[in-house]
Amino acid sequence: MKEKIEDYYLKQIEPNRSVLFALRDIILNYHEFISEEWKYGLPSYYYNKKPFCYIWKDKKTSEPYIGIARGFQMEHPSLIQGDRTRIKIFPIPTNQDIDINTIYQIFDEASKLYK
């Protein structure tokens, strides 16, 4: 399974590859209860064995984003609903530094939904 995840990241072109690897580290370092799995053909992250978030890229712009599993229950201003019913996303522009503080604010809010 780890090979599929690694292959996914390695197949990406730059600058997405570097950004996706950085996001992976950011997510895995957020909390000891975060685990990584290959689900639905994409890297997915679980909090205490429950779906927490995933990493994907926008179909139009190819820029990465973090999809928050319970985003519909959150009101963080940086999250975007779009046409999604349950997931909200946090876009990650590849031409800017990754905003780790905002990601962790979103994760703090999301993790409260699992308690």
3-class SS at 72?
helix
- H-helix or E-strand spanning residue 104: helix 100-111
| Residue 36 contacts residue 45 (beta carbons within 8 Å) | yes
**Domains in the chain: how many in total?**
1
Q: What is the pLDDT of residues 81-113, one digit of tens each?
A: 988 999 999 999 999 999 999 999 999 999 999
pTM here?
0.92
Query: Looking at residue 2, what is its pLDDT?
Result: 65
CB atoms within 10 A of CB 40: 10
Residue-wise pLDDT tens digits, 55-74: 999 989 999 999 999 999 99
Q: Tell me the CATH number at 55.
A: 3.90.1150.200
Q: Any idea which of 1-5, 11-15, 64-68 has the lowest mean pLDDT? A: 1-5
Pairing state between β 50-57 and 34-39? unpaired
Range of 14's domain?
A: 2-114
CB 113 within 8 A of CB 86: no
pLDDT at 26: 97
Q: What are 15-51's pLDDT values in tens digits?
A: 999 999 999 999 999 999 999 999 988 999 999 999 9
